[in-house]
Structure 1
Amino acid sequence: MLLLLAGVLAACSPVLDWREVALDEAGLKVLLPCKPDHGERDLPIGPAVLHLRMVGCEAGGSLFAVAHAAVPEGLASAEVVAAWRSAALAAMRAAPDAQEDDGRLTARGRRPDGRPVYAQAAWRVLADRAPAQVVQAVVYSAEPLAGDAADTFFGAVEPR
């Protein structure tokens, strides 16, 4: 009986347990489908370096992440977005058929271990801050997400 109850409870557990997460330093709130991890890394952009702060988690076989960085002095926001986009596509060895629809990039590529990966990503510039912030929301998965999970995720990256 206990095993049956455990099985029923596991079946009722949502794979995507959405929660609001505040990114105070960027003045953003986002929705993530699981308990987030936080991280930082540097991304060289020409002569400058973007210091990326990110939050993300894995749920249902997909990695959901939001990263942000201040636009370095002397660079235009559009330059930063273009360079970040190129770096993201290069890192996943994306196929040349990457497409952008409604501001959302979709691409197929390979993970570092050679397994296939599908990415959906969007960038946004928050120009009303000093310095301006560039924000990337991205989902990496083996296949495109089913249902409305991607729309929920991308639609919930908002200023606080």
Structure 2
Amino acid sequence: MFLRVLCALFALIGLVACSPEYNWREVAISGAAVSAIFPDKPKVDEKRFIFEGETLVLSMTGTTVKSAIFAIGHAPLGARLQENAVARQALYRQVVSSFYSNFNQATPNPLPAPGELFVVTGKGPNGDMQLSAKVWITSDYLLEGIVVAPQALFPEEHATEFFAGVGF
């Protein structure tokens, strides 16, 4: 009897040890021809913001694993922005600059190119934080991918996997 209990205990410990903290899954981003992989089941939230008189709806699909947030933001562009490349570039600049200003950092000149990974560090409410991000702008939508976590716990390997899994 003791041997059976001991074997069951070791089997249970083995299962717990093998349960993944990062349970990757591919998710289609609602309303876009975009897919991404997330390390856990994501939730969707919406945020509205105004850019040059046009209201944009940013759908944020994201999840948190341990202390890291993994998210994809998607905002369809209205007809005026779709037809105006200069306005789309201004939107791109504003979005990228906002990541730097959120961490009280100066926006670099030149900006990272669309789709180029950039890293911003700074103070958060609980200490030093790190944000890794990519921002894309097409004629149809704005897309942003972010991973943010305490700097000392930033999951570099998982962030790399997350960004590699964004497809459109």
CA contact (8 A) 1:117 1:142 kept: yes
With the length of structure 1 as denominator, give the TM-score of the two structures.
Answer: 0.80
The aligned residue for residue 123 of structure 1 is 135
Name the structure with the higher helix share. 2
Amino acid at match of 1:156: G
1:33 is the counterpart of 2:12: no
Q: CA deviation at 1:35?
A: 0.7
Which of 77, 83, 91 is the equivalent residue of 2:94?
83
CA contact (8 A) 1:16 1:60 kept: no
Amino acid at match of 1:134: L
Cα RMSD after superposing both structures? 2.4
| Count of matched residue pairs | 152
- Taking only the aligned residue pairs, the percentage that are identical comes to 22
CA contact (8 A) 2:97 2:107 kept: no
Change over 3 Å in CA distance of 1:42–1:136 after alignment to 2: same
Q: Secondary structure at the match of 2:135?
A: strand
The aligned residue for residue 155 of structure 1 is 164
**Aligned counterparts of 1:94 and 1:16: Cα–Cα separation in 2:** 31
Could you tell me which runs of 5 or more consecutive residues in structure 2 were left unpaired when the two chains were aligned: 1-5, 82-86
Deviations 1:62-91 (A, max 9, x none): 100001102244442211111111223323
**Aligned counterparts of 2:89 and 2:42: Cα–Cα separation in 1:** 28
Amino acid at match of 2:65: A
The aligned residue for residue 146 of structure 1 is 156
Whichever of the two has the greater Rg, that structure is 2
Could you tell me which runs of 5 or more consecutive residues in structure 1 were left unpaired when the two chains were aligned: none
Change over 3 Å in CA distance of 1:28–1:117 after alignment to 2: same
Using the TM superposition, name which of 20-29 and 98-107 deviates more: 98-107
**Aligned counterparts of 1:94 and 1:5: Cα–Cα separation in 2:** 50
Name the structure with the higher strand share. 1
